[in-house]
Chain A
Amino acid sequence: MNLDLRMPMGLMFTFTGALLTAFGLASRGTAIYALCQGIDVNLCWGLVLLVFGLVMMVVGSKGQKKIEMGRQMANPSKARQLRQGR
């Protein structure tokens, strides 16, 4: 398949992480963390997911470029255009 899964997956975790981080910042010190020893778990876990999502997106974008290159190389006319472009 010509879609590197890590791109959309990274995007989803980036959004989820950003959402949890923002909500964690807005809800700091509230009673919802009573069972979490007062730790703002939304903020902590949101940051973890944000970093994971961003790393996935970076790795995925490199993988996607490789896929595109491979597709162009498989097509001789496109490969010629690519070489001329270089």
Chain B
Amino acid sequence: MPNLTHVDWLIILLYCGFVLGIGYALRPYMKTSKDFFQAGRALPAWLCGLAFIGVSLGGPEVIGMGAAGAQFGLHSARFFAIGAVPAMIFAGLFMMPLYYGSKARTVPDFLRLRFDGKTRTLNACTFLAMTVFSAGIRLYAMARLIQALHIFDRLFLSAGWPREGIFTFSILLSAAIVMAYVLLGGLAGAMYNQVLQFFLLIAGFLPLVLIGLSNIGGWSGLMASLPLSGIGAVHAGSSNLGFGLCLGLVLGAGYWCTDFRVLQTAMAANNIESARRAPLIAAVPRLFLPFLLILPGMIAIGLPTPHSTTTVTTTAAGAIVHETTIVPPQDAQGNGLVPAQADPRTGKLLLNAAGQPLLDYGMATPNLILHFLPTGLLGLGITALLACFMSGIAAGVTAFIAVFTGDLYKPWIRPDASGQHFIAVGRWAAVGFILLTIAAAYAASGFSNILDALLLAFSIVNAPLFATVLLGMFWKRATGHGAFAGLLAGTAAALLHHGLTLPQAAQPGLHGGWIAVLHLYPNALAQNFWTAILAFSANLVVAILVSLCTSATPDVDLVGLVHSLTSRPVRAGIAWWKRSETLAAAILLIAVALTLFVY
């Protein structure tokens, strides 16, 4: 059990107090629905950029990067850092001018402007379902982490409450904090806290990496201590480069270019140039931060594996003292600080095909925090992790209420209501969202790997949407009927594929195979990859065919919505080194240099 003292608790409470205080300070500025749902479209580029990167560094992503570092080493940086950058540059230079310039409030609203109302409604419904599901997974993961770190164990012990209640208590407490600051500050409240989370992440993880590196003998010591199996895994990972690149292209680009949870931060910028710069500003820390988050995983697996020991000492009085340190079998059978996985029902260790224990890589970063950070910094490290989880959930709340209010409630129920009415509806929607998320968090307990669950949601919703948005922005012949049919076909293909396939060793149900099991995949990652590819391709083919069979929209109605019909941003008066294109070129050069370093 970690020794959380008053200082650690003070730091955690200080953070909670400030996030609520920021929401409270912003409340007087929430006068119009634009202020509440779009942060007044008045935020500077740097703030939007840091919030953009903050959303993408939610709890599962931070834990996942540490896990990937432990499993695949430094090479995993290419997926998290270098792989994301081209999509972010593309989103900034080519997509933001259309999203922002069209004055769309949300991504479904852009689909309404570009195509029609039915396409908007379909996308709004699938997006809302995905947002509830993914926020539920995040909430579940956060509660599990709080359990694993034993944060509330002492509180429950001293109060005499049953320890089984910690999971529910963690879920309710974190949901209540997130709901409070979103109700008070709207999108601005969430974005301010995402920026706070970004700096907290650096403040919590930089000393962790420095202390870990100094203990393991610096960079050379780390490289020498990495297990051979890990290096093997790196090379195995290299052979799957094509697989990873395809996965990144469909799911990664779909995420950065169409996920409204992320894009809402750039769409809150104070002008079109700031909106373009926001993803580019985010790309700079995106190049370097994954190294800070991957290294804890590498250090954790490079450290010696703990074993039970007995030391014999003789006291001054001549007494012989035997001191035995018992290490749980999960830790002793693990690798470094990465424990072995145990079956939650039987407690028995899980073994792979070779009879070796399966490792719980997700515990690499939390275990390193508990191992190295002393009282004080321990509170800061835990606060950083909790901040990541809460800001990811908050991004879901703000995206949900904007889409629900603007794309479903307003057009279908009360088109002529006042702005104050929509703010009230948004606040009630936030309460409803939190309740649905809590229910989804309990449903998510059926997934053994939370990243697989998140990828499943993205592959069903974002992959087909990416095809629709690409066609809408870059092919003026795409029509509303085509987009609707494509989106329907893509989503249906994804669901059908999931219902007919199953990862090996999984039970039919949440993991797939709920219609019939026609094909078995080696793992859930491969299943999600093919779900995404199929959804994207089905959407693209059906949308093109139906568009060609239906009458085209006149060019004059597509100005500002299609790239070829939209005038380029005015650059006169902006020095060449201040332009977004220059920033994008510099980021690409750094990405190339980092790629050479990683290889």
Contacts and interface: CB of A to CB of B under 8 A. Distances in A.
B382 interface: no
A12 B14 contact: yes
Contacts of A15: 14
Interface string A11-42: 11101100110011001000011011100011
Contact of B377 (A1, A3, A42): A42
Interface stretch (B40-48, B445-453, B503-511): B40-48
Nearest to B10: A19
Given A19-B7, A35-B215, A1 B374 contact: no
Contacts of B537: none
Contacts of A20: 7, 11, 376-377, 380
A20 B207 CA distance: 13
Interface in A31-57: 32-33, 35-37, 41-42, 45-46, 49
Interface residues of A, number: 26
Nearest to B3: A32
Contacts of A9: 195-196, 199
B211 A1 contact: no
B26 A36 contact: no
Contact of B203 (A5, A11, A13, A27): A13
A27 B371 contact: no
A84 to B, nearest CB: 26
Contacts of A2: 29
Contacts of B188: 1
Contacts of A45: 203, 207, 377, 380
Contacts of B25: 3, 8
B42 A19 contact: no
Interface string B11-52: 100110010011001100100000100011011000100000
Given A9-B196, A19-B10, A20-B380, 13 more contacts: A1-B40, A1-B188, A3-B29, A5-B192, A5-B195, A12-B15, A12-B18, A16-B11, A16-B203, A27-B376, A37-B215, A42-B374, A45-B380
12 contacts: A1-B26, A5-B195, A8-B25, A9-B195, A9-B196, A13-B203, A23-B375, A35-B211, A35-B215, A37-B214, A42-B374, A45-B203
